[in-house]
Structure formats: structure tokens, C-alpha cells
Amino acid sequence: MILSDKTLRKMLDEGTLTITPLSDDQTPERVGVQIQPASVDLRLGTHFLKLNENDIACIDLEQPASYVELERDEIILPPKSFILATTMEYIKLPDDLTAFVEGRSSIGRMGLFIQNAGWVDPGFEGEITLELYNANQLPIKLAAGRRICQLVFAQLDDEALFPYRGKYQGQRKATGSLVFDDLENR
């Protein structure tokens, strides 16, 4: 079941769901509001990672990737390029709640694809690392603090038997791939 704004507000007030910092202007004009009818908008942070194309010959899923780290209030994403970004918000999901990361329609209509593997497991805690891809022939200017994606929450039928406690737990800032640490590579 997808959770409504009413349920999300209740969970946030009770502390069973954490999203911080959260701007929640509840006026009828809904200026600056992050809590939507069935989702919560998340904002772009200031930390970015891009693959260091000058340091590696190819991407090897069995080796750590080399990244260039950027800390900025604004970034230009060139055409047909990819970058990792982070959200401003730190989230903490209870063990019986999951979330889907979706790009905002208004942003997608500008040709910016936003993903994070699309899923946040029950029990996850941390900032969300986003994968951003510019599908355009023109650069896209992105500014920190802009609402960039949304989380849609779904209630599990029961608490997860093994909630998320994995390698990305507690992440702050954009976090590069840790696929080299997968079981298949051990």
C-alpha cells in the first residue's frame, strides 16, 4: 500500500520515519512544500562524484572505481554525461517500510534522468545517492536545494526478517559503487 501525505506526516511526527532537514509549508499555495499527496520530494545536495575517466581504462566490477569528488552549490551536467549526486536529506526507514525513488516529472521533461536503482530497502538509513544522466544535446545547470526527485513509500505486510544493514548504511555525501565488495567477487 502506498502511503498518503496524512500517514507520512503522522509517521514523521511520531518519529517512526525520519527525513531531515524537511521543509513543510502547509499553506494552500504549497510553496516550498516537500510532502506531496503520496510522496516526499527530496532536494539536490552539494556533493557530486564523477568517474575519473583519465585514471581507468575500463570499469571493472571486481575493482574499486576511481572518482573525482566535487563539492558545489551549482553544477553543469554536459550532454550525454553521468554523475553521482546526493540528496540534502538524511532518511531513516523503519523495518516495515520501503521507498521507491522516482524522478520528478518536471525534471524528466527537461531530459534529466534520475535514478538510484529505484529502491530503498526497509531499515535503510542515510542520504540517497542519485545517478543523474543528461539525455540532451545541451548542458543542464543544476543548483543545490532544488527539489530533484521524490520518495514514494509503501508499507510492508510485516517487518522485514532481515532489514537493510548493508554496505551503504549510514552513507553521507554521494557514494560511489561498492559493487567490488559483492559476494560474487569474494
Q: Are the C-beta atoms of 129 and 116 separated by less than 8 Å?
A: yes
The pLDDT assigned to 147 comes to 94
C-alpha 87/C-alpha 99 separation (Å) is 15
The pLDDT assigned to 30 comes to 56
Q: pTM for this one?
A: 0.91
8-state DSSP, 2: B
DSSP string, 50-67: EE-TTT-SS--TTSPPPE
- For the chain of 186 residues, list the mean pLDDT of each consecutive stretch of 10: 95 96 69 84 97 88 93 97 97 98 91 84 97 96 96 97 95 93 81
The pLDDT assigned to 182 comes to 85
C-alpha 141/C-alpha 162 separation (Å) is 40
The catalytic site residues sit at: 131
C-alpha 26/C-alpha 130 separation (Å) is 27
C-alpha 98/C-alpha 95 separation (Å) is 8
* Cβ neighbours for 35, distance < 8 A, ≥ 6 positions apart: 5, 8, 9, 22, 24, 41
Domains and CATH numbers, the chain: 5-185 (2.70.40.10)
C-alpha 79/C-alpha 138 separation (Å) is 5
Taking Cα atoms as reference points, which of 107, 103, 83, 111 lies closest to residue 174?
A: 83
Distances from the Cα of 169 to the Cα of 7, 15, 38, 124, angstroms:
25, 19, 25, 6
